[in-house]
Amino acid sequence: MSTRFRGVVLTLLFLAMLINYMDRAALSIAMPFISKTFSLSPSEKGIVFSSFFVGYALFNVIGGYLSDRIGPKRVFTWAMLCWSGCCALTAAASGFVSLLMFRTAFGMGEGPISATANRTVANWFPTGERARAVGLNQAGGPLGGALAGPVVGFMAIQFGWRLAFVVVGCLGMLWVLAWVRLATDHPLQNARVSSEEAALIGPETATGVAGRAQAAIEASSGTARTVFRNPAVYVMAFSLFCCSYNQFFFLTWFPTYLVEQKHLSLAEMSVVSSFPWLAGALGYVLGGLAIDAIYRLTGKVLLSRKVVLVVCLALGGACVALTGQIESARGAVSVMSIGVGFVMLTSTAYWALIQTIAPRDAVGGASGLMHGLGNISGIVAPTLTGFVIQSTRSYSMAFTIAGALALLGAVAVAFLIRDPAPRWRSGGERAGWALASKRRP
């Protein structure tokens, strides 16, 4: 019997994130085609991009909470079915209003994915492996974004943009079949997991799944109240807002920028736009490896996450801001690729950090709250960028705003989140995250 079945679970999480970003990035790649079909203005395109995040941010929180209450397997199953169906239905759009409706519903389906995946990693991996597991899981996202460029672009050029959405939407349906057959909420629920692997994952596994599930339900309301009351989660969420603003600015507007500002053809854009995504995938993997390496050297869990987050977010923001000042298309793509790599390297640290400072039975809810508040940037970034471009007739200010926010997010974590050596107590007793102003190491 395998002693590494958690690797199978991680592979499924990786593929889910790949499909997630491929579906999500499809609209950005297809937007030049869709805009031509429906004659959309820059501000209308920005609103369509943002509509996804209205549903997405709300269901970040709801999905994370449900993953604690009913388990990540069921949440993931229904989320994948929902967003894949809505992605395919985008092909039926008839104009601006219907695009808004389908895109909002699509965002609701995708909302639970990151918090639910983080809860799954917390259930299935020991502490020393979690950052790497998070990094590998999240690396599927930018790889999916990289695939979206050539795949969706080719299909849109050859067969029309509507068929492209149907094809990528069907991928999620296939993933669900494998997930339902192979995955479980906890290792002890899975007959493929050996007793040796269960013991390695964590001694708490030995107490039994049924007992842990009941304890989670009994404690969930208390831990949820603790998470919502603690000011440090809002500092983390603000920093994630700044980080995600850069990701969503890139995700939604960069392909259009390459066509409109750098005058690349649609075919060239479809290929070139994948380069920053590939750098982002490398960033996610390196982020997890760097965090675990620093942890092994120092023995300090929070420090290992914080150093990677602060340094890489600041460097990523500087590269994004610089991109708007570069004249050549090759230079802009190169610097943006480096910036996206640093920003996505940072993302691994957020998920690893939330696992460190939240109680195990509230990782999903804590992840969802941070992710939901942070992803309000998905509403702000595309719309604000559209209006900035329309008013200034240039992209340079939009790049500067994104880069400045990344620096601000790095400063917030550097000076406001300190190491309180938190001890979460049973029954949801208030403890946990500390701000610099409240407790000093």
Q: Which residues lie across from 417 on neighbouring strands? A: 435
The pLDDT value given to residue 240: 93
The pLDDT score that the predictor gives to residue 138 is 79
Distance CA 107, CA 91 (A): 16
What is 6-428's CATH number, 3.10.620.30, 3.30.70.141, 3.40.50.720, 1.20.1250.20? 1.20.1250.20
- CA dist 140 → 49, 279, 441 (Å): 21, 12, 36
- Tell me the two tokens of residue 134: 């998070």
Map tokens 């909420």 to a residue. 185
Please give the pLDDT value at position 403: 93
Q: Tokens 């550097």 correspond to what residue?
A: 414
Q: What is the pLDDT of residues 365-390, one digit of tens each?
A: 677 778 888 888 878 888 888 889 88
Amino acid 268: pLDDT: 80
**Which pTM does this prediction carry?**
0.69
pLDDT tens for 169-183 read 899 999 999 999 998
Give domain limits for the chain: 6-428
Structure confidence at residue 425 (pLDDT): 38
Taking 50 as the pLDDT cut, the residues of the chain under it are 1-2, 204-222, 421-434, 436-441
Rounded-to-integer distance, Cα 395 and Cα 105, Å: 29
- Note the pLDDT of residue 223: 53
Q: Using a CB cutoff of 8 Å and minimum separation of 24, what contacts does 31-39 make?
A: 31/255, 31/256, 32/255, 32/256, 32/259, 32/266, 32/269, 33/156, 33/160, 33/161, 33/266, 34/93, 34/99, 34/161, 37/161, 38/95, 38/96, 38/99
- Determine the 3-state secondary structure of 95 from DSSP: coil
Q: Give the pLDDT confidence score for residue 410 in this predicted structure.
A: 94
Q: Which residues fall within 8 angstroms of residue 220, CB to CB, at 6 or more apart?
A: 68, 69, 361, 362, 365, 428
